[in-house]
Structure 1
């Protein structure tokens, strides 16, 4: 009898172990998707840019830096730091490229004709030792060399009224004006223009 009772107990417990508890609970449905809520798409990644490498520009061998140019104390008088006087310094009047064989420079006194005198250099060599400026243009024809043709115009005095004032014009070999400007420099200072023959 004990054996039957033992077998019966084991049978009841084994039935209880195989029953599924999930089925005894109440069913909870999965809620449907809300129709008003839109699904947000992930942001699109931009493809990496394939920029071509930056092309290194070839430095211009004929580029003139006036600050470096005027540092040469053998050729250029240093600027005088006098308050209120702005003409006691050198002036850079620009760099012009040309393909011509010659160039003509014309100059005259730009203000009151007061006896201003200048000296003209080409590549640091004197080509006009003394020129008196008056109201009429005087001209100087220059045979250009390949590359840099640096023209310095030095004020030899300031006349009766300071500073030394002058107007200049640069013509190419076809007679076309390529530059025109004025300078106001003190005695011993220079106005510089560069013609680059390509």
Structure 2
């Protein structure tokens, strides 16, 4: 009997506790609105502000004199240049400077051009030989001189470098004039283009020989005239 009363009492306490918890949860879900209270002192003053007084033309503001603006002030128009008018074109300046420096070096080393600036003729030379050997060499410093050799206006050696040893080619002569041309393609690094040439007959006899000192694009010409046998 006592045990049953205790059981009912525990059940009743648990029931009361459950009801209390549910009541607290429901009270947290409810929103409480607080009515706004109007305050007469919080009104916004929307009255227009009084414009500040114009300074007029006095040019004085609190004891500070304001400089007067100059209307229609015209500034001179001038194109901007990084180098200025007094310096000229930078490319031309560099070229002139390089030319002066190169001229100074060639003068100090005595390499200035002394070659002919006009075509040179080495004369007419006669032979009865059927063939001739055309030889050439650089009699000065091996400095990279280049020549082009033509026979009767036909190129035999398009671009050949001159060394200190004779070398060349053999051609068959036609009756009459056989024109041999040496064209200076450059002047090497020790100006001018210098060479020594020889023309030998079939018996190794010298028909013609001479030396040249030519500027670039200048020709040296020798004529070998074949007589009938």
Q: Which runs of 4+ in 1 moved over 4 A?
A: none
Give secondary structure in 1 for the equivalent of 2:202: coil
Give secondary structure in 2 for the equivalent of 1:134: coil
| 1:118 corresponds to which of 135, 140, 147 | 147
Match runs of 1:12-23 below 5 Å: none
Match of 1:105 in 2: 134
| 1:184 corresponds to which of 169, 193, 213 | 213
Q: How many residues align?
A: 115
TM-superposed deviation, 1:163: 0.8
C-alpha RMSD over aligned residues: 1.3
CA distance in 1 between partners of 2:115 and 2:180 (Å): 22
Gaps of 5+ in 1: 1-83
Gaps of 5+ in 2: 1-112
CA distance in 2 between partners of 1:94 and 1:140 (Å): 20
Highest Rg: 1 or 2?
2
CA distance in 2 between partners of 1:86 and 1:176 (Å): 29
CA distance in 2 between partners of 1:173 and 1:107 (Å): 17
Contact 2:143 2:189 in 1 (8 A): yes
Match of 1:166 in 2: 195
| 1:144 corresponds to which of 127, 151, 173 | 173
Match runs of 1:8-157 below 5 Å: 87-157=116-186
From the two aligned structures, give the one with the greater helix fraction.
2
